[in-house]
Structure 1
Amino acid sequence: MAYNYFGKKILILGIGLTGISCINFFLKQGITPKIIDESKNPLFVTKIPKNIECSFGSLEHKWILESDIIIISPGISSFRPILIKARLLGIEIISDIELFVREISTPIIAITGTNGKSTVATMITKIAQNSGYNALLGGNIGCPVLNLLHQKRDLYIIELSSFQLENTFNLKSKISVILNIHEDHINRYPQGFEQYKKTKLSIYHGAEICIMNSHDQLNDIFDDKNKHYISFGKKNSDYYIYKNDTSFILCCKNEKILNSSELLLSGYHNYNNVLVSIAIADAMKFSRQYTIYTLKNFSSLPHRFQTIQNKNNIDWINDSKSTNVNSTQVALNSLTKKGTIHLLLGGDSKSGNFNILKKYFNKKNIKIYCFGKDGVKIFKICKKKSIYVENLKQAMLLISKTVKSGDTVLLSPGCSSLDQFSNFEERGNLFIKLTKEMT
């Protein structure tokens, strides 16, 4: 054990997959934590051993203020008044990621960004594995990192959200990457976008190599001469993309590496994901041969601009992973057909600014179907081209009556799914089911 928790009063806040992994972590060390979850009936309650004290339904203040160490779920805001008070009293509040990095000496590739994290993390894992590494993938992508401990490995690829980074202090990665920073989760951060950005930037603390998007203007982080900085994005970056007559060329310095026509993926955002994956692979000194082979054979992850069906010359595209406005913007930019776009938009907007989509609505032949918690709010922004419905199923029924050859049906909600669904996968799976029933 790399860190001694014996004699400490341990409290775990939140019982999702992450919370269960934290319980198991401490039990293996002979330590029994206490549990708090705000839900009256947590999803994984049956996985909690009988001998553990639990409090369900609200934050139990007495337990919080009596703790020595609190491990907080990413879903619980670090800015809750009771947690601010706990910190002022010297109570340590950390993430499962912090627990994890205290236990290991294996190199980490840490990846964050508003969009594209899962795609790039999966690409790099496959490249590493094809290059002969025993590489494990975990974090925000769905597998809690503590579940990766005690497995044979020589490299970790960890996808990190801003929520996880809020309480991670000793990451010390081999490579840290920020893919992009756009407005998201503004409702989470009391100081708005700048606080969200600062949280993302913390991924570079202790990193050997920092890979950054030159479009994000992160020049203020070039403050450590002991670090190696690599840029991608703009033409004067280390890695960049330029367009020729028929496709996009991915380059490193003056070297042409890959033509977009050789990829299974489509869309400029995906070419950018491939570009940064090449930058990471080069920094790890993986063989270019294995890198290029892997990327040429990589297909889109589910729910990420995924073409479900093309029937009667109608494209049905599932982009349910679009949980912020910028990702919807990216999806609209990736469409090439000239027919009507039937755009499904809505859910919990997290205080996102949908006004930035107006220029697309004005330029394109588009019908917008607004649904969910913030459907009315979005409807008011784009009234002339939009219809408000309560849910996704109602929207799809309306679309089925008007869609015609040459059109595109795009689920790219630009919002969190948690107002009406368990997660974005459930939302995407419903879209797929309805698509198949209607075509």
Structure 2
Amino acid sequence: MDRWQGIQHVVVVGLGITGLSVVNYLRKFHPQIEVKVIDTRENPPSKEQLPANVALHSGGWNMDWLLAADLIVANPGIALATPQVQQAIAANIPVVGDIELFAWQVQKPVVAITGSNGKSTVTDLMGVLGNAGGIKTSIGGNIGVPALDLLSEDSDLYVLELSSFQLETTSSLKLKAAAFLNLSEDHMDRYDGMESYRQAKLRIFEHAETLVVNADDRQTYPDSNIANLVSFGLDNAADYYTKENQGQEWLMAVDEAVLPSEELSLVGRHNVANVLTVLALLKAAGIDYSDSLLSALKSYTGLTHRCQVVEDKNGVKWVNDSKATNVASTLAALSGLSLEGRLYLMVGGLGKGADFSSLKPVFATLPLKLCCFGADGDQFMPLHSSARRFETMEQVVKTIHSELKQGDMVLLSPACASMDQFKNFMDRGEQFAALANQFADK
């Protein structure tokens, strides 16, 4: 079936990295199609990189362009509920995302991962181990490289991290395996409740050969019984699990003992669950646990911006967990901590309508100094008696560095999005690392 038959005019809604990748893909694979871009921002990112023959309307909507389109490709940040998009849908104009275009084009096997937390680590580790196992593997989607840009890499396996936003506009992505890691409150400023958020995530299973679910989180299971279901779990009976043997905990793949947990470089119980997920995905993709693959697994230390030690001087650790953009992610970071002194925890940013109260009982168990900053920093103030309010992350570091003693830890794990004061969570993490570098010696 030629999905492009009859399509002459495409409107891309939202520029940035993803929108530009859509434009470049269309220019390369469908040069006969007229492409226009709408971005409501006055000066959208990637504007300078747009090809000269692609028209841009910025600073608002252009409904004439939108309603004259044969196909609309919406950026994941544009909700389908947006009135202008709804008007186009009512006019029977199809609205898709970049992942759907990827699905129409890709010829090689694809594995995809979604979940509220851990999906970037699982995606990255799957890419590392796929390559270590002798399969040319590329990763992208919601992490790093836009999915459409991966097509030029001619890989043997593509691994995609997919957000609920991306899945909303994806309907025909065929997957060798799909994993739904966990579900916790996030993006409540976009969805009308947890069930809507969950249903968006469950779309990942629609055309998957193997469905990987979390035995410890029943919300990750599809609503109807599926025969090709594989589970991972730490606390419940699962296909991929941990087992004590002669005083050691082993990672188990069905009945195969793969590796003692203590041989992992990754820290924290949440990362043991992440590794079990990857073992399930590797098996589903037909990749053996070779010696070279297991060696790469043992040496893997995790992602930048996720529980990453950026400075360790004078007995003080500075840890960048900027990728913790929701409550569950911060809770996961706190569960894996080993502390000798005090914990200076930096929280705040854009709260996205979240309820932060579940942090309070965990805070109570820690030798905590709570440092609250950013747009929604006030929401954290009632959660611990030590809480102090700052405007910026820099102000926090400049204030606390003179108080630090041997054994202390400074942890940026904000539980919030970053766009109130930073370009993205990477920018926030890089600025934290720079501050740590500047003040760790003082």
TM-score range, shorter chain: over 0.9
1:148 Cα offset (Å): 1.9
Deviation per residue, 1:330-362 (Å, 9 max, x gap) = 111111114211000000011111100000122
1:121 Cα offset (Å): 1.0
Normalised TM-score (structure 2): 0.94
Corresponding residue number in structure 1 for 2:425: 424
Corresponding residue number in structure 1 for 2:318: 316
Identify which range, 238-247 or 61-70, moves more after superposition.
238-247
Gaps of 5+ in 1: none
Corresponding residue number in structure 1 for 2:43: 41
Corresponding residue number in structure 2 for 1:27: 27
1:403 Cα offset (Å): 1.5
Corresponding residue number in structure 1 for 2:232: 232
1:2 Cα offset (Å): 5.1
Contact 1:372 1:420 (C-alpha < 8 Å) held by counterparts: yes
Normalised TM-score (structure 1): 0.95
Corresponding residue number in structure 2 for 1:176: 178
- Matched to 1:273, the amino acid is N
Identify which range, 64-73 or 347-356, moves more after superposition.
64-73
Contact 1:26 1:32 (C-alpha < 8 Å) held by counterparts: no
> What's the Cα RMSD here?
1.9
Provide closer, same or farther for how the CA distance between residues 265 and 219 of structure 1 changes in structure 2, counting only shifts above 3 A. closer
1:122 Cα offset (Å): 1.4
Deviation per residue, 1:276-311 (Å, 9 max, x gap) = 111111222312124322211211211110011222
1:255 Cα offset (Å): 3.9
Contact 2:183 2:220 (C-alpha < 8 Å) held by counterparts: no
- Mapped to 2, the partners of 1:415 and 1:244 lie a distance apart of 40
- Matched to 1:295, the amino acid is L
Q: How many residues get paired?
A: 436
Corresponding residue number in structure 1 for 2:392: 391
Identify which range, 161-170 or 230-239, moves more after superposition.
230-239
- Matched to 1:275, the amino acid is L
- Mapped to 2, the partners of 1:175 and 1:49 lie a distance apart of 36
Corresponding residue number in structure 1 for 2:10: 10
Provide closer, same or farther for how the CA distance between residues 253 and 230 of structure 1 changes in structure 2, counting only shifts above 3 A. same
- The answer to whether the aligner puts 1:117 opposite 2:119 as a matched pair is yes
Deviation per residue, 1:239-270 (Å, 9 max, x gap) = 12357898643223444322222111111111
Provide closer, same or farther for how the CA distance between residues 147 and 219 of structure 1 changes in structure 2, counting only shifts above 3 A. closer
- The answer to whether the aligner puts 1:188 opposite 2:173 as a matched pair is no
- Matched to 2:380, the amino acid is I
**Aligned ranges 1:105-254 → 2 under 5 Å:** 105-189=107-191, 191-218=192-219, 221=222, 223=224, 227-233=227-233, 234-242=235-243, 248-254=249-255
Deviation per residue, 1:131-160 (Å, 9 max, x gap) = 221222121112111112243222111111
Contact 1:281 1:291 (C-alpha < 8 Å) held by counterparts: no
- The answer to whether the aligner puts 1:366 opposite 2:368 as a matched pair is yes
- Matched to 1:239, the amino acid is Y
Identify which range, 70-79 or 249-258, moves more after superposition.
249-258
- Mapped to 2, the partners of 1:219 and 1:144 lie a distance apart of 25
SS, match of residue 141 in structure 1: coil
Contact 2:202 2:220 (C-alpha < 8 Å) held by counterparts: no
Provide closer, same or farther for how the CA distance between residues 376 and 130 of structure 1 changes in structure 2, counting only shifts above 3 A. same
Provide closer, same or farther for how the CA distance between residues 160 and 219 of structure 1 changes in structure 2, counting only shifts above 3 A. closer
- Matched to 1:4, the amino acid is W
SS, match of residue 384 in structure 1: coil
Corresponding residue number in structure 1 for 2:278: 277
Contact 2:36 2:56 (C-alpha < 8 Å) held by counterparts: yes
SS, match of residue 195 in structure 2: helix
1:401 Cα offset (Å): 2.1
- Alignment partner of 2:101 out of 96, 99, 102: 99
